[in-house]
Structure 1
Amino acid sequence: MLEIVLSTVRHRKAGFAGAFVALLCAAALVCACGILLDTGLRGSVAPQRYAGAPVVVTGDQFVHQTKVKKKGKVKHKAKAIAERAWLPASAAEKVRAAGARNVVTEVAFPAEIGSGAGESWGHGWESAALTPFTLREGRAPAVRDEIVVDAATARANGLRVGSRVRVASAEPGEYRVSGVTREALKDQAAIFFSGAEARRLAGHPGMVTAIGATGSKAAIAGALRGVRATVHTGADRGRAEFPGAERSRIKLISMGGALGGTALLVAILVVSGTFALSVQQRQREIALLRAVAATPRQVRRMLGQEALLIGLAAGPLGAAAGVPLAFWLRDRFRGLGALPANLDLVVSPFPPVAAGAAAIVAAVAAARVAARRTARIRPVEALGDAALTPPRLGAVRTVAGLLVLAGAVVLTVVLGGLHTEAAASPVTMLAAIVWTVAAALLGPVVARAAVAVLGVPLRAFPVGGHLAAANLGAGARRLASVITPLTLMTGLTATILFAQTTTGHAAVRQATEGTLAAHVAGPKIPHGTAEEIRRAPGVTAVTEVVRSTVRVGLQNYGVQGVTTAGLGATMDLDVRRGDIKDLDASSVAVSTTAASRLHVGPGDTLRLTLGDGTPAALKVVAVYGRGLGFGDLTADHDLLAAHVDDPRGAVLIAGTPPKGLPTVSAATLAQDTASANAEVNYIAMGLIIAFTAIAVVNTLAMSTADRARELAVLRLAGTTRRQIMRMLGWETLAVVLIAGLLGTGIALATLTAFARGMTDGGPSVPPLAHLGVIAWGALLAAVATALPARLAMRARPADAVGARE
């Protein structure tokens, strides 16, 4: 058996090359996604600012929920909060009481000099020992208007002792450099103020960001019992120092899992289609084996061993290629700010091994499924079956296709009821894939129906069109195999692209329609500057806007904090119930989507956790319609600003803004936000689109190359090369039209449900962009058909016929 397998692979290199490429790409994609997921699960960040403190105490960065299940089983869940949690300053005394030494408290707040890239934080000089920072020149800040800057900041801005520089923060001001440190941190700038000035700028009286100490972790944790605090040691101190990196790590888990799951589903579909086409092309060969007494088990075993051989070659190579692919993804995500520079990938043997194994299993399973019918036919029917296409689908395939079709309908209905992107995005991809699987299973039926319609206009064209119609009608199964990857690529590409445009355009439209102010300044305008703008001549109203994320239970909700004075002149939230004028520090307004999910309305109390972990119970005063443009919740500005890391935000200005103040339109600000979110999804899902494009080329090239004998017979019958190329051109056009219509239908069904749930409207599909998607598929199909055909026709017709015989 092994000798037959090796001989088959050796003599059918072109057919097996397509399966090899599909498996290699699948393994690379799954490996890269696995590395992202593994990084999310086990990735860590080394401490920098807290490197000199053996023990670091911070506020609890999680919201916790405990539920008692059946039989008394307790289940605990925790979700990360959006901002930095603060500690009461009195916790330092409890740490000292636990026997800790070198206890140091610190406050940290956003503060920048110039426009350098990366994070920049202000601190009190007393916390310099946490790194430790030491002075290279000058002295510690002694008065309010003095600062010490780190070596990198001094070098980048040309600062030295005695220089005066403006520091941007929640309360910007001009300071004199009293000292420069020897040290500089890799991923963040440090600006040190006097202790009193740092506490004033931080804006959290009686609170500290962290406590560093030397002592027993267990003793310190025991002393802090009853305080919402977490004790960190070793590498865990990096999580305390970089809460943003921790949140990114958690996002990688969901992103890697969703992307990896989608990639695996697409890979299985593509690989199955490739092997199905390969087995179709070998029906005569397999039929001959059955005719000479090969049993179905032997045929399945032969095909399984062929697939295993290809999988063993492609799986490890693809897994190895997945490692640099993961690093490429990391660099792209870092460039978009979705992944911090100090969170490195975790590269362990597990993802490559799992990806290689998945490729092998997918190959063997796909070959077994593809060979099921051919291996079971009776020997006496074998040769006839190879020569004649079955008139109808088998009962098993028909039932499977109808069941998958029903599943696609159910998923689409479910998608229409999902109102958050986190819930809707994976279901959107899954729905598009399931629709494509249904089309693949029922493909021959769809192909016959489509050919019956297209055959009429095709036969109007002599020779080329007539031959194309005849070939398409006789090869419904082959046509279905070719259509499936092109349908998948068209449907997935359109779904991915236009799901983003649907939410992005809806958000921009709502923000534009709801922003009454003619000018928007931002995004980091401090409260003092907003007050100056408010007093400027020609300004009729100013609304300060700060944004954050809160949790209701464990669910995330975007929230904006607004100043209510003059709100009616700058912002229209499309209030449906209640009155936004009643908004104050004890109340909140909710969007219609959030109100539906939370089952609240005007007069109800909404219990939530603010961005820094502070619980709040707010009265609902209004329900508004423009949640995509302005956030699910709207709260009082001062309430929200007191619980975010950076209280600076955008400013909406009605009237004439002061001269020299840079402003943008509301549409531009909303578009920038939507584009930043969309680009991350485009990069991640673009790999899957590229994979499906490779599958399209693979399948079409395999199908055309296998027709060398058919093309040779046509040439012996007197058909010219030009007529054959025209025939193939008409066939390709028919394939593109059928796949384009199927892919468009799949995308429209999915996007309509997505839009109904997310925007309560219809999908946003730019016609030219969608035509571009179909044109890209047409170009791939044309190239993958024309090149193999020209190569096949280089040989003399008699030689080609003889070789196939």
Structure 2
Amino acid sequence: MFSLVLASARTRLWQYAGVLVVVVMSSALVTVLATVLDRVHRADTGQAAMKSAESLLGLVGGTSGLTAWLLVVNTMSLVVQQRRREIGALRTVGATARQLRLQITGEALVISLVGAAAGAGIGLAAAGPALQWLVRNDVLDAGPTAGLSLPGFTAGVLCTTAIALLAAWTAANGPMRTSPIAALREAEAERRAMPPGRAVGALAMLGLTWAAWDWYGHRDGPHEAVNGAMALCLLLILSVWLLIPLLVRPIAALCAVPGRLLSRYSGTLAAANSTAATRRVAAMAGPVLIAAGLSAMLLCGNAVSGEVESRPVARTAAAVADRAAAVAERAEAPAASARAVPVRPAEAGAADAGQAGQAGHAGHEESRPAAAPERGDGGRAERQRDRNAVGMRILMTPLITFSAIGILNTLLLATRRRRQEFAVLRLTGSTRGQMLRMLGWESAVVVLSGLIAAAAVVAVSLGGLCARADLPAADLLELLPWGALAQVAAGCAGLGLLGVVVPGLLVMRVQPSRTARDVG
């Protein structure tokens, strides 16, 4: 069995190339974070430094680990889908579902161990510069020094291998439940877009989303409102990613309308391909949803959190100013009545003294709360903005890198497997230009499907934040980082076009008759 697994992994190395790259990067990142935590612990710089390092490890490692797991699951699902004919043939000649599941999981184990070991070595080399950068940017206190860390290396290898194995087991579990004849039939034509297990997982994730949102709703404060919106967005991204095989057909049909109108042959053919191959389009749009959704969640959350958390302070300052104005009006009232009502000289002197005392008390009431917030808030706000900027760079760098690799790998894998389809189209008279335009329209459908799903998720989350934090929609629209969001959308579009057109060009360089003969 082991020799069969090694031979199969070696022959399918091009399929696992994207998984291997994601595993290497994930292992390197986990190793860096675990090494930083270990060096901080050894330096014994205090509880504050330990809490900062633990928060960094938990936030960056959790976000990046979730992204890596989703991308590995997405790639493994596409690999297993493309092996449905092989799986059906092997089960027809007597192979059991357990044997095939162990073979696929064993291939993932071999790939993940090699990638995790290489990534852990890279992480140990990069941990020293990363630690110095964190200290230099005041993320960590001075004191920890660079050095090798056996716990960091072990954590990188074990965590990444566990992620890859769980992803492979999840991807291989669904197709093994179908009969051999059904597997052979579905290899030629898709009969159902949504596996039952994925549908159950999506319903469970939606229930968890509602429970988390309800739990945050019973907690007061702007900080809890922001955390609730971020948790809602993250869980909704997972739910929509699970449901995307059902959602992608109507979304793809809508996104294909411009292609139908502008290109009668290429656009119509691209629309037909997108609506017919639901699983393939869903697998290709999944990384776009993950990349755009998580990036927009972090960008919008960072932009809105400062405003939402400062609104109670602004309301308190306004209330203090109103109170001071009311006190000043009450202090002026006796003076006006004294001018209107005649009094004796002795009483006038006492009234003047009382008015002076009340005016002095009003001035004291007015100046005391107004001067306090201005002394230290400016420096604290600036330091917090700097920390937020550093934290955003730490979070966005691995997220963008993982997402870019996931998008390119999925699109390259899905397009390269369509060699026979391209050969048939070429043999029936389609030109290279028509084929490239078709691929361009298909990439537009894939990217738009992922971006529309991500935009819907982020809009729902921000709407919930507006309701919880009493923030008007007009103010929210002014706070959003539209330039950064446009860059995310443009990056996804560029990666989508690159991941579809480049392998299409490589496939179309081969003669159509030779391609059809080799695939057949």
C-alpha separation between the residues in 2 aligned to 1:774 and 1:478?
A: 21
- Residue of structure 1 in register with 2:20 after alignment: 20
1:400 and 2:201 aligned: yes
Q: Which amino acid aligns with 1:730?
A: W
Q: 1:426, CA displacement in angstroms?
A: 6.4
Point out the structure with the larger helix share: 2
C-alpha separation between the residues in 1 aligned to 2:228 and 2:403?
A: 19
C-alpha separation between the residues in 1 aligned to 2:113 and 2:426?
A: 40
Q: Which amino acid aligns with 1:394?
A: P
Question: For 1:235-286, what per-residue CA distance to the aligned partner results, in whole angstroms no more than 9, with x for missing partners?
Answer: xxxx5xxxxxx52332222222222222222222121111111111221222
Q: Which amino acid aligns with 1:781?
A: G
- Residue of structure 2 in register with 1:628 after alignment: none
C-alpha separation between the residues in 2 aligned to 1:463 and 1:355?
A: 50
Structure 1 residues 33 and 421: alpha-carbon distance in aligned structure 2, compared to 1, 3 A threshold = farther
CA RMSD of aligned residues (A): 3.3
C-alpha separation between the residues in 2 aligned to 1:426 and 1:15?
A: 38
TM-score by length of 1: 0.54
Name structure 1 gaps, 5 residues minimum.
46-238, 240-245, 515-571, 584-633, 641-647, 652-665
Q: Which amino acid aligns with 1:799?
A: R
Q: 1:429, CA displacement in angstroms?
A: 5.0
Question: For 1:142-161, what per-residue CA distance to the aligned partner results, in whole angstroms no more than 9, with x for missing partners?
Answer: xxxxxxxxxxxxxxxxxxxx
- Residue of structure 1 in register with 2:8 after alignment: 8
Q: 1:761, CA displacement in angstroms?
A: 4.9
Query: For residues 669-684 of structure 1, what are the structure 2 equivalents within 5 Å?
Result: 672-684=382-394
Count of residues in Structure 1 that have an aligned counterpart in Structure 2: 474
Structure 1 residues 681 and 427: alpha-carbon distance in aligned structure 2, compared to 1, 3 A threshold = farther
Point out the structure with the larger strand share: 1
Structure 1 residues 426 and 251: alpha-carbon distance in aligned structure 2, compared to 1, 3 A threshold = farther
- Residue of structure 1 in register with 2:174 after alignment: 373
Q: 1:367, CA displacement in angstroms?
A: 1.5
Structure 1 residues 282 and 724: alpha-carbon distance in aligned structure 2, compared to 1, 3 A threshold = same
Q: Which amino acid aligns with 1:575?
A: A
C-alpha separation between the residues in 2 aligned to 1:306 and 1:399?
A: 27
C-alpha separation between the residues in 2 aligned to 1:746 and 1:414?
A: 19
C-alpha separation between the residues in 1 aligned to 2:7 and 2:431?
A: 35
C-alpha separation between the residues in 2 aligned to 1:34 and 1:438?
A: 30
Q: Is the 8 A contact 2:252 2:446 kept in 1?
A: no
C-alpha separation between the residues in 2 aligned to 1:422 and 1:406?
A: 23
Q: Is the 8 A contact 2:226 2:305 kept in 1?
A: no
Question: For 1:365-391, what per-residue CA distance to the aligned partner results, in whole angstroms no more than 9, with x for missing partners?
Answer: 212221223222222333212112122
TM-score by length of 2: 0.82
Q: 1:423, CA displacement in angstroms?
A: 5.7
C-alpha separation between the residues in 2 aligned to 1:685 and 1:357?
A: 22
State which of 431, 437, 451 in structure 2 corresponds to 1:726. 437
Structure 1 residues 355 and 422: alpha-carbon distance in aligned structure 2, compared to 1, 3 A threshold = farther
Q: Which amino acid aligns with 2:28?
A: A
1:500 and 2:302 aligned: yes
Q: Is the 8 A contact 1:38 1:346 kept in 2?
A: no
C-alpha separation between the residues in 2 aligned to 1:791 and 1:734?
A: 21
Q: 1:450, CA displacement in angstroms?
A: 1.2
Q: Is the 8 A contact 1:415 1:757 kept in 2?
A: no
- Residue of structure 1 in register with 2:347 after alignment: none
State which of 362, 387, 399 in structure 1 corresponds to 2:188. 387
Q: 1:31, CA displacement in angstroms?
A: 2.2
Q: Which stretch shifts more, 482-491 or 21-30?
A: 21-30
C-alpha separation between the residues in 2 aligned to 1:346 and 1:753?
A: 46
Q: Is the 8 A contact 1:501 1:765 kept in 2?
A: yes
Q: Which stretch shifts more, 697-706 or 477-486?
A: 697-706
Structure 1 residues 443 and 431: alpha-carbon distance in aligned structure 2, compared to 1, 3 A threshold = same
C-alpha separation between the residues in 1 aligned to 2:256 and 2:471?
A: 41
Q: 1:746, CA displacement in angstroms?
A: 1.8
Structure with greater contact order relative to length (CA < 8 Å, sep ≥ 6): 2
SS in 2 for 1:280: helix
Structure 1 residues 382 and 253: alpha-carbon distance in aligned structure 2, compared to 1, 3 A threshold = closer
Q: 1:490, CA displacement in angstroms?
A: 0.4
C-alpha separation between the residues in 1 aligned to 2:504 and 2:217?
A: 45
Question: For 1:571-596, what per-residue CA distance to the aligned partner results, in whole angstroms no more than 9, with x for missing partners?
Answer: x811179947999xxxxxxxxxxxxx
C-alpha separation between the residues in 2 aligned to 1:399 and 1:767?
A: 36
Q: Is the 8 A contact 1:432 1:747 kept in 2?
A: yes
Q: Which stretch shifts more, 771-780 or 795-804?
A: 795-804
Question: For 1:92-146, what per-residue CA distance to the aligned partner results, in whole angstroms no more than 9, with x for missing partners?
Answer: xxxxxxxxxxxxxxxxxxxxxxxxxxxxxxxxxxxxxxxxxxxxxxxxxxxxxxx
Query: For residues 450-599 of structure 1, what are the structure 2 equivalents within 5 Å?
Result: 450-460=251-261, 461-505=263-307, 573-575=317-319, 579=323
State which of 294, 297, 300 in structure 1 corresponds to 2:101. 300
C-alpha separation between the residues in 1 aligned to 2:249 and 2:106?
A: 33
Structure 1 residues 433 and 508: alpha-carbon distance in aligned structure 2, compared to 1, 3 A threshold = closer
- Residue of structure 1 in register with 2:143 after alignment: 342
1:788 and 2:482 aligned: no
State which of 309, 313, 337 in structure 1 corresponds to 2:110. 309
Q: 1:493, CA displacement in angstroms?
A: 0.7
Structure 1 residues 690 and 474: alpha-carbon distance in aligned structure 2, compared to 1, 3 A threshold = same
Q: Which amino acid aligns with 2:279?
A: R
SS in 2 for 1:338: coil
Q: Is the 8 A contact 1:412 1:753 kept in 2?
A: no
SS in 1 for 2:14: helix
Structure 1 residues 754 and 259: alpha-carbon distance in aligned structure 2, compared to 1, 3 A threshold = farther
Structure 1 residues 714 and 331: alpha-carbon distance in aligned structure 2, compared to 1, 3 A threshold = farther
C-alpha separation between the residues in 2 aligned to 1:427 and 1:353?
A: 34
Q: Is the 8 A contact 2:255 2:449 kept in 1?
A: no
The higher radius of gyration belongs to 1
Sequence identity percentage: 29
C-alpha separation between the residues in 2 aligned to 1:19 and 1:790?
A: 23
C-alpha separation between the residues in 1 aligned to 2:41 and 2:239?
A: 34
Structure 1 residues 476 and 404: alpha-carbon distance in aligned structure 2, compared to 1, 3 A threshold = same
Name structure 2 gaps, 5 residues minimum.
328-368
Q: 1:475, CA displacement in angstroms?
A: 1.0
SS in 1 for 2:16: helix
Q: 1:406, CA displacement in angstroms?
A: 2.6
C-alpha separation between the residues in 2 aligned to 1:425 and 1:32?
A: 29
Q: Is the 8 A contact 1:23 1:359 kept in 2?
A: yes
- Residue of structure 1 in register with 2:56 after alignment: 255
Q: Which stretch shifts more, 780-789 or 430-439?
A: 430-439
Structure 1 residues 505 and 576: alpha-carbon distance in aligned structure 2, compared to 1, 3 A threshold = same
- Residue of structure 2 in register with 1:210 after alignment: none
State which of 439, 447, 459 in structure 2 corresponds to 1:736. 447
Q: Is the 8 A contact 1:418 1:757 kept in 2?
A: no
Q: 1:417, CA displacement in angstroms?
A: 5.8
Question: For 1:546-586, what per-residue CA distance to the aligned partner results, in whole angstroms no more than 9, with x for missing partners?
Answer: xxxxxxxxxxxxxxxxxxxxxxxxxx811179947999xxx
